[in-house]
Structure 1
Amino acid sequence: MFSTALAVLVSISFTSISFAQKTDYTQFVNPYIGSADHGHVFVGANVPNGAVQLGPSQISQTWDKFNGWDWCSGYNYKSEEILGFTHTHLSGTGIGDLNDILILPANGKTHIRQAPFNKMNEGYGSKISKANETVSPGYYKVLLEDYDILAEMTASERVGYHKYTFNKKDNPHILIDLGFKMNWDSPTDTYIKVVNDSTIVGYRFSTGWANDQKVYFAIQSNTKFKRVELYNDSIPAADYHIAKSTATKAIISIDPTKAVELKVGISPVSTVNALENIKAEIPYWNFEQARKWAVAKWNNVLSKIDFKADENTKTIFYTALYHSYFAPTIFSDVNGDYMGTDKQVYNDKNHQNYTVFSLWDTYRALHPLMTILEGQKNKDFVSSMLKIYQQQGKLPVWHLWANETNTMVGLPAIPIIADAILKGIIDPSEIELAYEAIKTTAIGSGHGLEYVRDLKYIPIEHMQNESVAWALEYAIADFGAYQAAKHLGKVEDAEYFHKRFKLYEQYFDKEVGHFVGRHADGKFRRPFDPLMAKHRENDYCEGNAWQYTWLVPQDVHGLINLFGGEKAFLNKLDEFIALPEQLDDASPDISGMIGQYAQGNEPNHHVPYLYAYAGEQWKGAALVHKAMTKYYTNEPAGLCGNDDVGQMSAWYVFSSMGIYPANPMNGKYVFGSPLMEEASINLPSGKTFHIQVKNHGTKNIYINKVSLNGKKYEKSYITHNDILKGGELIFEMSATPNKKFGANKTFRP
């Protein structure tokens, strides 16, 4: 009864919201952007923030061979083979995991061993060609050429829907391989149970980036199984309907007189819930209907911004918006059950639970973007983080499927929670818990935090590498704690965290004009090379001293003072982007270079907007325009670095509209250089904020003047509250800079 009612509710809501769309925004998306080189984006079928990301997984070999880092998502545009289709993927990450529950339709000789690269006849898998592959939001199709099988797939939030058309009917069968692994992942315990002649359930437990990952699943078929062969690793199972091992497999013989369809529900909790998810979300056998719903859900989020530009720019924009909705992903069942980081099962019917929090990346732009576009979803993101805090004793750093990976530096959940408090997008009942989580996390220990807690710098004897990176990120988080404490009237705490967010000043070496690691005796590191970016062997994380010189978005005026004033600050910025584009033995994450500015990595994402703080907004406009047009293209290699779970894309969504949250916790969006003719942001309240660009043109990259709601507007930024009120912002552009715009200190961010 519950399942049917929920399914009907979903059907009604999406029929009324999405099928009424006059414009199909999915036509403007090119899902291949970022699928080549280092973009690492997921390519396949999913819905916004869906737990299921159903798509191909390709051959994974050792790091230094054909495969490796550029297959973190399981897919790379240059690959010409598919081993099977898996139901979970990561998108844009620099570490690979997931690719759970592999299914492959096949015919001919049966195999339970995956084919090695370039030897597809020695195991399961098939060659493919791009000419026979189609991908669009919510839909994936490919011809498995070795088997002559057309594979199509779509998805709901928790269910993957497969459709296989067997053009060749020689021993047709379907392989399920729970032992399949890619990248860092390795199975630890897998289980398959044949429930009846059209249903299979099971689980796959694994270790990898997520140290203890659990995925439960249920598979239903529209075609009765003729025979099922189960294997414990490579040995046939003694029991014809149950198999349990580290690498359980099944070969299902079928009669494909009609297209074979499979519905695969997943759950973090149980096979019972996986079946319930199928009943609630896709209770019917109608692939085209499921596909239409997936497209409707994508149109529902893509239509939140009506962006008008030339065809190429429009495609890049909507693809960026599309990628901004891949994560965080849903991590609970339709009944509210979810797995906590303490491996206990919880139930929450008031909030949707989420995972895949790549917070060091996404606190900068993706989460601020969602504070504009989404209502309830933001509350659910925050609530999910607070539940993680309650279960593990600190806010998440990089949360993945009920696991804290502790990847990257700082305390990146704090800026997001603090911003939610300041913007009033947190449930009143959770405000005190939110502040408790911020404070408890901030006064923790490890990675030098005990020094920060005592208002001291982190000596390099304590942290030989990355001490400056950790310290600067701590200072950003501490600004959030300060703002939250101040907002909530916690005076003593506010004074304490104000001192903490100013600790960045202790790393500034005036002799060289950079933030530099310090010895316990107070001396700065010597010898010192500001260009040195050797991976994991300096004071910075994925960067050098030049790139970390600007990582003070919370206190830009304080940074300006360290340089001795605006002139010296601006000269240093000019020097930064004029330096040679060279790196010495650096992390591959440092990419998208303009001088030493690295668009391909997050610590530099706010840098173009710093010019506005010192009265030269026009220089920032030129830099951000160059970064957008040089490093974002309508090609598979159209991203200059990892998409980083949507942060690289969210940066473009903001920047192409001419605004960016340089400080993600003060509710100000600094002006840059808009690329479009106009954009309408359709707000959750029903209001619209319209941005019009007059005198638009490829050479007109500078803001000449601005008006807001028909009145002259001289500030070089706009506030969050002004956007939420709705209204119209007009940029009038020019090919030559108006150096007076934003020059007056009164009008700077």
Structure 2
Amino acid sequence: MGTSSTYEFSHGNTYPAVAVPWGMNFWAPQTGENGSGWMYMYTDSLIRGFRQTHQPSPWINDYGTFSIMPLLGEVVMDHRNRGVSFDHANEEAAPNHYRVKFNNGVTTALSATSRGAVLEVTYPSEEGQYVVVDAYQHGGSITLDKEKNCIYGITRYNNGGVPDNFGNHFIVEFDKPVIESGSDENACAYVKFNLKPGEKLTIRTASSFIGHEQARLNFMREVAGRSLETVSKEAEKVWNEQMGRIKVEGGTIEQQKTFYSCLYRTLLFPRELYEFDENGEAVYYSPYDGRVHKGYMYTDNGFWDTFRAVHPLFTLIYPEVSGRIMQSILNAYDESGFMPEWASPGHRGCMIGNNSISLLTDAWMKGIRTFDKDKALEAMLHQTQARSEEISSVGRDGYAEYDKLGYVPYPEVHEATAKTLEYAYADWCLARFAEETGNREVATEYYKKAQNYRNLFHPEKGFMWAKSADGKWRDNFDATEWGGPFTEGCSWHWTWSVFHDPEGLSALLGGHEPMAARLDSMFAAPNTFNYGTYGFVIHEIAEMVALNMGQYAHGNQPVQHAIYLYNYVGQPWKAQYHSRNVLNKLYNSGPEGYCGDEDNGQTSAWYVFTALGFYPVCPGASEYVLGSPLFPKATLSLPGEKTFTIHAEGVSDANCYIRSAVLNGQEFTNNYLKHSELTGGGEFRLVMDSIPNKERGVYQKEFPYSYSK
């Protein structure tokens, strides 16, 4: 799902990752050349290797990677020339298993643990049976131990975010005798075998970011002596346990395939960067200070994407994972001086905002207390009062101007309006956390700053816009202009980025009716654009135009919550209509399954939540805003052996409107569910209709949280 993507147009920018949930390593077929972010493209016809990968996004690219490639006839070391043709009809892909029969008759199958993998290769003939192991140059090295039928290597391949001593130490062991071997100066080696046609060659591998001895420990724990079938069945069991925490029933086979494919994507990132020492204690190599520490570390996540729905899904369904992630965030603060915002494996200069604050606040408000509240507040405050000179994504760009003026000025600061809106939401999160932990003075200060979004609302235009440091509005207003004061979008998208105060935004727009009308107009407006400071049509623009849904741009994150804002202005039936429309039109289980970048599970988590019938518009508020459930029945398995079941009587594409609702036997008219209502367990029964019920959810008392309310 989502693998038919290019630099110019994304249908997901995914690859078929064989892994376990949150695994330290993934394994995938590689169709692109070494170094290409588009490592697997569905339209390609050659595979160049089976790659241990950590890539969270083609735009971020990979690190600590190496590949294994079986060849027949002659050995080819150069990755550009060693591709072997295949047909998708001879390919099987599942979360726990991948198998392909090449057109030359060689079959390769693989499965993975968190830190290792097992591959099986069968050759159709004896005419030159080779396996190439490629450590991707970049200062890596490979050592052959022919007596032990083993290869030891270090791959130092990366695209940034690593200390000087970074390396991924790996072991590749073959269960059949090596009859010939060799290597080149590019950290690439080959081994040759003499097997009967159809005889299985088993390859076992594991790696460590800590060192070779830890790699050996990981190898012995996870793959030594184990068959492909055993590893595959164990991975299948883990996937079924984790995905089985959400059970959907009914709907079409295609809807079920899409739902669980999206849930699979949501459970891949962030990855565990920690390992277990000889005593079974969690330890990790820090990509921030280059040292080994005890505890937990997660990486490969851009919180600008995933704060919206991925991490709220974890706090609800997988709180034990969320608890470790929160510890990891503060570990990164200890080791680098800043909390991560985009890590792969360490800080990367990508995207904007202080959404690490959102993660910590949302977790704390939902009862996840695995981290030191005082250190968390210290880290949050520092994140808003400093900026890294080296890494653009951490700290707060324009913090001095923001605190002095009440907004980030443009053109003095790049993407200033988007940053102002992100900072105001982060300030609300910080205030909420401070209030909850007894720091009232801090809370008062930051609640005031959380209203700074108002300072960039242009009252004459009715949109968010940009001001210079002298208080003058930017000339030539154009709500369709991308870039400039905005990040990967235009004012049509960013005007809605007031997660914590839709009621306050509504007042700026003139009230509930005008705000609803503006939301309507987003879908009705021409899908025109001005590419602005980008200077060309970036893929996000092309994807919005292709949707043909007006100015609604679901393929990118800033506007993904906007549909649910109808619930804040008394027209919830429109959220029900549009959410169902997006589910049906913009997702499918195939190679073109997404309408933009999938982004570490965020676009998938939107589908998962929306198919259940609700969405976390404002992480930190502990509420889920209602849409329209896709399935007749869905059951959430929650901590404490509790379940929450959603029944949607009569649901269909035509019957997407909520006629009535009952929560645990009581009539329910709110446009949202509280976190405590879900985690307490129970039943939510909806009666669905083909006609909107315009008398339900229309009163202010039934609207979700807004700070101004």
Q: TM-score w.r.t. structure 2 length? A: 0.92
Q: Deviations over 1:401-448 (max 9, x none)?
A: 2x2003101111110011111112122x52222222112112223521
* Offset at residue 31 of structure 1 (A): 8.2
Where does residue 46 of structure 1 map in the other structure? 19
Where does residue 534 of structure 2 map in the other structure? none
Letter in 2 for 1:384: S
Where does residue 251 of structure 1 map in the other structure? 190
Aligned CA distance change for structure 1 residues 719 and 479 (closer, same or farther; 3 Å): same
Q: Please state if 1:545 is matched with 2:491.
A: yes
Q: Please state if 1:367 is matched with 2:311.
A: yes
Aligned-partner Cα distance in 1 for 2:557–2:218: 36
Where does residue 526 of structure 2 map in the other structure? 580
Stretch moving more, 71-80 or 598-607: 71-80
Partner of residue 503 from structure 2, selected from 557, 562, 567: 557
SS state of the match for residue 334, structure 2? helix
Partner of residue 180 from structure 2, selected from 227, 246, 258: 227
Letter in 2 for 1:253: K
Which 4+ residue blocks in structure 1 deviate beyond 6 angstroms? 30-36
* Offset at residue 704 of structure 1 (A): 0.8
Give the alignment of 1:414-433 within 5 angstroms.
Answer: 414-427=357-370, 430-433=372-375
* Offset at residue 34 of structure 1 (A): 7.9
Q: Is the 8 A contact 1:617 1:742 kept in 2?
A: yes
Where does residue 496 of structure 1 map in the other structure? 445
Where does residue 204 of structure 1 map in the other structure? 155
Q: Is the 8 A contact 1:39 1:92 kept in 2?
A: no
Q: Cα RMSD over matched residues? A: 1.9
Q: Please state if 1:389 is matched with 2:333.
A: yes
SS state of the match for residue 488, structure 2? coil
Aligned-partner Cα distance in 2 for 1:99–1:188: 10
Letter in 2 for 1:188: H
Aligned CA distance change for structure 1 residues 646 and 328 (closer, same or farther; 3 Å): same
Q: Please state if 1:132 is matched with 2:90.
A: yes
Aligned-partner Cα distance in 1 for 2:470–2:5: 46
Where does residue 243 of structure 1 map in the other structure? none
Q: Is the 8 A contact 1:91 1:326 kept in 2?
A: no
Partner of residue 346 from structure 1, selected from 292, 307, 324: 292
Q: Is the 8 A contact 2:664 2:684 kept in 1?
A: yes
Where does residue 689 of structure 2 map in the other structure? 734
SS state of the match for residue 404, structure 1? coil
Where does residue 407 of structure 2 map in the other structure? 457
Aligned-partner Cα distance in 2 for 1:31–1:392: 35
Give the alignment of 1:661-740 within 5 angstroms.
Answer: 661-740=616-695
* Offset at residue 96 of structure 1 (A): 2.5
Where does residue 698 of structure 2 map in the other structure? 743
Letter in 2 for 1:416: L
Aligned-partner Cα distance in 2 for 1:530–1:295: 48
Q: Is the 8 A contact 1:700 1:735 kept in 2?
A: yes
Aligned-partner Cα distance in 2 for 1:607–1:508: 17
Letter in 2 for 1:282: V
Q: Is the 8 A contact 2:647 2:685 kept in 1?
A: yes
Partner of residue 144 from structure 2, selected from 194, 197, 201: 194
SS state of the match for residue 220, structure 2? helix
Letter in 2 for 1:102: S
Aligned-partner Cα distance in 2 for 1:214–1:740: 61
Where does residue 51 of structure 2 map in the other structure? 86
SS state of the match for residue 598, structure 1? coil
Aligned CA distance change for structure 1 residues 404 and 261 (closer, same or farther; 3 Å): same
Give the alignment of 1:118-157 within 5 angstroms.
Answer: 123-146=81-104, 148-157=105-114
Letter in 2 for 1:386: L
Letter in 2 for 1:153: L
Letter in 2 for 1:372: L
Give the alignment of 1:77-116 within 5 angstroms.
Answer: 77-91=42-56, 94-98=59-63, 100-115=65-80
Q: Is the 8 A contact 1:398 1:404 kept in 2?
A: yes
Where does residue 391 of structure 2 map in the other structure? none
SS state of the match for residue 265, structure 1? strand
Where does residue 317 of structure 1 map in the other structure? 259
Aligned CA distance change for structure 1 residues 194 and 60 (closer, same or farther; 3 Å): closer
Q: Please state if 1:290 is matched with 2:231.
A: yes
SS state of the match for residue 55, structure 1? strand
* Offset at residue 454 of structure 1 (A): 3.7
Where does residue 514 of structure 1 map in the other structure? 463
Q: Please state if 1:377 is matched with 2:321.
A: yes
Q: Is the 8 A contact 2:65 2:157 kept in 1?
A: no
Aligned-partner Cα distance in 1 for 2:373–2:603: 30
Where does residue 170 of structure 2 map in the other structure? 217
Letter in 2 for 1:251: Y
Aligned CA distance change for structure 1 residues 259 and 636 (closer, same or farther; 3 Å): same
Aligned-partner Cα distance in 1 for 2:83–2:91: 16
* Offset at residue 343 of structure 1 (A): 3.4
SS state of the match for residue 603, structure 2? helix
* Offset at residue 370 of structure 1 (A): 0.6
Q: Is the 8 A contact 1:330 1:354 kept in 2?
A: yes
Aligned CA distance change for structure 1 residues 727 and 34 (closer, same or farther; 3 Å): farther
Q: Is the 8 A contact 1:176 1:250 kept in 2?
A: yes
Q: Please state if 1:260 is matched with 2:186.
A: no
Where does residue 707 of structure 2 map in the other structure? none
Gaps of 5+ in 2: 388-395, 532-536, 705-709
Letter in 2 for 1:459: P
Aligned-partner Cα distance in 2 for 1:737–1:381: 41
Where does residue 19 of structure 1 map in the other structure? none
Stretch moving more, 98-107 or 305-314: 98-107
SS state of the match for residue 333, structure 1? strand
Where does residue 118 of structure 1 map in the other structure? none
SS state of the match for residue 439, structure 1? helix
Aligned-partner Cα distance in 1 for 2:10–2:290: 39
Q: Deviations over 1:641-689 (max 9, x none)?
A: 1110100000000001110001111011010011111100011321100
Gaps of 5+ in 1: 1-29, 62-67, 116-122, 180-186, 233-246
Q: Is the 8 A contact 2:111 2:117 kept in 1?
A: yes
Aligned-partner Cα distance in 2 for 1:260–1:584: 56
Letter in 1 for 2:667: K
Aligned-partner Cα distance in 2 for 1:342–1:616: 47
Aligned CA distance change for structure 1 residues 364 and 522 (closer, same or farther; 3 Å): same
Q: Please state if 1:333 is matched with 2:275.
A: yes
SS state of the match for residue 640, structure 2? coil
Q: Is the 8 A contact 2:660 2:688 kept in 1?
A: yes
Q: Is the 8 A contact 2:3 2:12 kept in 1?
A: no
Aligned-partner Cα distance in 2 for 1:218–1:719: 49
Q: Is the 8 A contact 2:4 2:43 kept in 1?
A: no
SS state of the match for residue 540, structure 2? coil
Aligned CA distance change for structure 1 residues 296 and 84 (closer, same or farther; 3 Å): same
The aligned length equals: 675
Letter in 1 for 2:361: A
Where does residue 487 of structure 1 map in the other structure? 436
Q: Please state if 1:174 is matched with 2:118.
A: no
Where does residue 555 of structure 2 map in the other structure? 600
Aligned-partner Cα distance in 1 for 2:58–2:72: 34
Aligned-partner Cα distance in 1 for 2:348–2:373: 26
* Offset at residue 285 of structure 1 (A): 3.1
Q: TM-score w.r.t. structure 1 length? A: 0.87
Q: Please state if 1:531 is matched with 2:510.
A: no
Q: Deviations over 1:219-262 (max 9, x none)?
A: 12211222221211xxxxxxxxxxxxxx3111111233431111
* Offset at residue 480 of structure 1 (A): 0.8
* Offset at residue 557 of structure 1 (A): 0.9
